[in-house]
Structure 1
Amino acid sequence: MSFKSLCLLVAVPFILWGCTDSNEVPSDNPTVKTLHVDVPTIGGAIFSGEITAEKLIEDHGFLISHDSTFIQYKSILISNGAPTRSGIFESELPTGLEKDKVYFFKAFIVSKGLITYGATKSFLSNGSLPPILESISPKKGYIGSTVHLTGKNLKWNSYSYTRVFLGEVEVNPIASTDSTLTIVIPAYVKSEKFPIKVSVFDKESESISFELYTPEIHTIEPYEATYRDIVTVKGLHFDTIPERNQLFMGDVSATVLSSTRTEIKFVVSDEFRTDRAKIRLQAQLQDVESGDYFSLKLPLIESFSSCTESRAEFEIIGNNFHPIAPFNHVFFGSTEAEVISGDSKKLMVTVPYGPFPDAKTKISVKITETASTSPNEICIQDPWVMITDQLPFIYYGGIGTFTTENRAYVFAGEKLWEYNPDNTEWTSGELPFDLLYGNGSTTYNGEKAYVYTADYHNNFWEYNPSTDKWIQKAEFPGHIRSGAAMFSIGNKVYLGIGRYSSGISQSTPLHDFYRYDPNNNQWVEIPSLVTDEYTGRGRMSSFVIDGNAYLAGGALNTGHEQAWRFNGSTETWQSIAPIPEVVSYTSSFVYKGKGYITTVGGWATSGLECYQYNPQSDSWDMFYPIGTVGRYNGFAFTLKGVPYVGGGYQPFVDINVSSQMLQFMKD
Structure 2
Amino acid sequence: MQFNRRSTIICIVALWMAWGCTPEEPADLLSPEAFSIYPETGTIGDTIRMRVTKLVPEQVDFYRVLFGETDSRIVDIKPNEISIIVPEPLKTGTSTIQIIGYNFRYSSLKPFVLTPPEILSYDRCTLTEDTLTIVGKNFNPNWSWMEVTFNGEPAKVIGGNRSSLQVITPVIAYPDAKAQIKLHMADYRIQGKEDVCIEDSWLMVSNDAPDFFVNFQGSFVIGSKAYFPIRKDDPLENELLVYETKNRSWTSKPMEVPLHPISTVIGNSRNGYIYNPSGNDNFFEYDPVTDTWEAKNNFPGINRDYPVMFAIGKYIFLGLGNDQNAPWEPNYADFYRYDPDQDKWERMADLDFGSYPPKLKMSCTVIGEKAIISGGAYSDGNFGVWMYHSDKNLWERKNDFPHAMNFSEGFSFNGDGFVTQGRQVWKYNLQNDSWDSVDAVGFAYRYRTFAFVVEGKPYIGGGDAVPPNAWGNPTRNVYRYDRPSFQ
Q: The TM-score by the shorter chain falls in which range?
A: 0.7 to 0.9
Q: Does 1:430 align with 2:265?
A: no
For 1:186, the equivalent position in structure 2 comes to 12
Deviation (angstroms), 1:461: 1.2
Task: Write out aligned runs for 1:548-567 (5 A).
Answer: 548-567=370-389
Q: Secondary structure of the equivalent of 1:243?
A: helix
Q: Is the 8 A contact 2:256 2:293 kept in 1?
A: yes
What is the rounded CA distance, in whole Å, between the counterparts of 1:481 and 1:320 in structure 2?
69
2:404 to 568, 582, 593: 582
Q: Does 1:302 align with 2:124?
A: no
Q: Does 1:269 align with 2:87?
A: yes
What is the rounded CA distance, in whole Å, between the counterparts of 1:417 and 1:611 in structure 2?
27
Q: Is the 8 A contact 1:531 1:537 kept in 2?
A: no
CA RMSD of aligned residues (A): 2.8
Deviation (angstroms), 1:550: 1.6
Q: Is the 8 A contact 2:29 2:54 kept in 1?
A: no
Q: Does 1:255 align with 2:70?
A: no
For 1:61, the equivalent position in structure 2 comes to none
For 2:208, the equivalent position in structure 1 comes to 390
Q: Is the 8 A contact 1:479 1:500 kept in 2?
A: no
Are the structure 2 counterparts of residues 426 and 327 from structure 1 closer, same or farther at C-alpha, using a change threshold of 3 Å? Answer: same
Q: Does 1:541 align with 2:363?
A: yes
Are the structure 2 counterparts of residues 235 and 412 from structure 1 closer, same or farther at C-alpha, using a change threshold of 3 Å? Answer: farther
What is the rounded CA distance, in whole Å, between the counterparts of 1:564 and 1:429 in structure 2?
37
Deviation (angstroms), 1:218: 4.5
Give the number of the structure with larger relative contact order, counting CA–CA contacts within 8 Å between residues 6 or more apart: 2
Q: Is the 8 A contact 2:257 2:293 kept in 1?
A: no
For 1:365, the equivalent position in structure 2 comes to 183
- Please list the CA deviations of residues 601-636 of structure 1 after superposition, one character each: whole Å capped at 9, or x if unmatched: xxxxxx532111133443322222223333221111
What is the rounded CA distance, in whole Å, between the counterparts of 1:653 and 1:450 in structure 2?
31
Deviation (angstroms), 1:476: 2.5
For 2:99, the equivalent position in structure 1 comes to 281
Q: Does 1:380 align with 2:203?
A: no
Q: Does 1:471 align with 2:294?
A: yes
2:331 to 504, 509, 516: 509
Deviation (angstroms), 1:188: 4.2
Are the structure 2 counterparts of residues 193 and 468 from structure 1 closer, same or farther at C-alpha, using a change threshold of 3 Å? Answer: farther
Q: Does 1:570 align with 2:392?
A: yes
Q: Which has the larger radius of gyration?
A: 1
Deviation (angstroms), 1:454: 3.2
Structure ranking higher in strand proportion = 1
Q: Is the 8 A contact 1:243 1:256 kept in 2?
A: no
Task: Write out aligned runs for 1:52-451 (5 A).
Answer: 186-190=12-16, 211-212=28-29, 214-241=31-58, 242-283=60-101, 285-290=103-108, 292-412=110-230, 414-437=238-261, 439-451=262-274
Identical residues among aligned pairs (%): 27
For 1:67, the equivalent position in structure 2 comes to none
Give the TM-score normalised by structure 1: 0.65
**Residue type of the partner of 1:452?**
Y
Are the structure 2 counterparts of residues 612 and 519 from structure 1 closer, same or farther at C-alpha, using a change threshold of 3 Å? Answer: same
For 1:666, the equivalent position in structure 2 comes to 483
Q: Is the 8 A contact 1:194 1:210 kept in 2?
A: no
Q: Is the 8 A contact 1:248 1:279 kept in 2?
A: yes
Q: Is the 8 A contact 1:395 1:648 kept in 2?
A: yes
Q: Is the 8 A contact 2:27 2:103 kept in 1?
A: no
Deviation (angstroms), 1:477: 3.0
Q: Is the 8 A contact 2:30 2:56 kept in 1?
A: no
Q: Which runs of 5+ in 2 are unaligned?
A: 232-237
Give the TM-score normalised by structure 2: 0.87
Are the structure 2 counterparts of residues 250 and 505 from structure 1 closer, same or farther at C-alpha, using a change threshold of 3 Å? Answer: farther
Deviation (angstroms), 1:345: 1.7
What is the rounded CA distance, in whole Å, between the counterparts of 2:316 and 2:457 in structure 1?
24
- Please list the CA deviations of residues 292-330 of structure 1 after superposition, one character each: whole Å capped at 9, or x if unmatched: 443433332222211121222222222232322333222
Q: Is the 8 A contact 2:76 2:82 kept in 1?
A: yes
2:349 to 505, 512, 527: 527
What is the rounded CA distance, in whole Å, between the counterparts of 1:370 and 1:508 in structure 2?
68
What is the rounded CA distance, in whole Å, between the counterparts of 1:469 and 1:345 in structure 2?
61
